[in-house]
Structure 1
Amino acid sequence: MEDWLHTILGPDQAPASTAHLCARAVVLFLYGLLCMRIAGRRSFSSLSPFDIFIAIIVGSNISRVMTGGVPFIPCLAATMVVVVMHRLMAMATMRSNWLALFVKGRADVLARDGHVDQAMMRRHDVSPEDLAEALRMQGIDDVKKARLVTFERGGKITAIPRSPAS
């Protein structure tokens, strides 16, 4: 089987021809789809810091395989181990609050009832301009019009507007 792979995909750590790189591209495209299916949709949609870290590792490994910088099969196997570990960690964090807190962190309140928590803003490196921009993107033109502003686990700022009566 190894001879067959070398014929189609080219040598592992030597210059590859255009045909070899194109064959690798097809194999790696399908392999990337397999990785996404195993990792689950959540991994590539929410993009928490943990998910971004995994995506960088997978992308880096696949690019090195594409150019022939590393042995083809061992690198794909190692990449699959990372993807499976990510999936198992995601499943474990669904069942364990303390593990989810460790891996994903927690949401923190930046403002409540129009009052900004300056210490929490500094902790997350959120400037007043960043806060104002996030509020505007959600249709709120002043923090005093927000009932709750939260720095979410994935790094996004979300806001709940105050009801018109308050």
Structure 2
Amino acid sequence: MEPLRALIGPDTGDATVAQLCARAAILFLFGVVCIRIAGRRTFSQITPLDIIVAIIVGSNISRAMTGKAPFFGGLAATLVVVVLHRLIAMATLHWSALAQLFKGAPVTLVQDGVVDRTAMRRHAIGQADLEEGLRMEQVESVGDVRLATLEAGGKISVIRRRDADT
């Protein structure tokens, strides 16, 4: 426990700039884990990576603005988070495994009119959620669906069966 305390510094507001940066990096990764655990439907319009950056940046700026954190240390810690976000976003363009870890992957909910109840349970999608997603795409019934997918951003996308149009 002593090495961690040396890394992150005291909780009395006397942490160094390096310790504040270490805290920011640790909290960034912890935040990503928390958002991933909460599930993609919790924040369905932006990626978990974007959410955690927005929360940390907003909090850091608020604390620096009110004097609850050292001004320059708070700015340095916020910069670390923003740079980490940018580096991870750039890295996900090159490594699909990293993209899947941070952004998630689409999940098939309906294939050729057949609902995958296991996938729905795993991602906390109820029947009403699925039906809402279908209605949002102007699809009346599951039988009219060739493919319905829970996208990484939390939206349910739907491709109609060709014979359902007639």
Q: With structure 2 as the length reference, what TM-score do the two structures score?
A: 0.69
Kindly tell me the number of residue pairs found equivalent between the two proteins.
122
Q: Separation in 1 of the partners of 2:139 and 2:62? A: 42
Rg larger in 1 or in 2? 1
Map Cα deviations across residues 60-108 of structure 1 (whole Å, 9 max, x no partner). Answer: 1112122221111110111011001100000000001111122222111
Greater relative CO, 1 or 2 (CA 8 Å, sep 6+): 2
User: In 1, distance between residues paired with 2:140 and 2:60?
Assistant: 44
* Stretch deviating more after TM superposition (71-80 or 114-123): 71-80
User: Following superposition of structure 1 onto structure 2, how do residues 1-166 of structure 1 map, counting pairs within 5 Å?
Assistant: 47-164=46-163
User: Whole-Å Cα distance in 2 between the matches of residues 63 and 165 of structure 1?
Assistant: 53
Amino acid aligned to 1:131: L
Segments of structure 1 that go 5 or more residues without pairing to the other structure are 1-12, 14-45
Letter in 1 for 2:128: E
Q: Which runs of 5+ in 2 are unaligned?
A: 1-12, 14-44
CA distance in 1 between counterparts of 2:148 and 2:164 reads 19
Q: Which runs of 4+ in 1 moved over 4 A?
A: none
TM-score norm. by structure 1 comes to 0.69
Q: Quick one: distance in 1 between partners of 2:52 and 2:160?
A: 33
Q: Secondary structure at the match of 1:83?
A: helix
Q: Percent of pairs identical after alignment?
A: 52
SS in 1 for 2:138: coil
Distance 1:141 1:64 in 2: 50
Rounded Cα–Cα distance in structure 1 between residues aligned with 2:163 and 2:63: 56
Shift of 1:164: 3.6
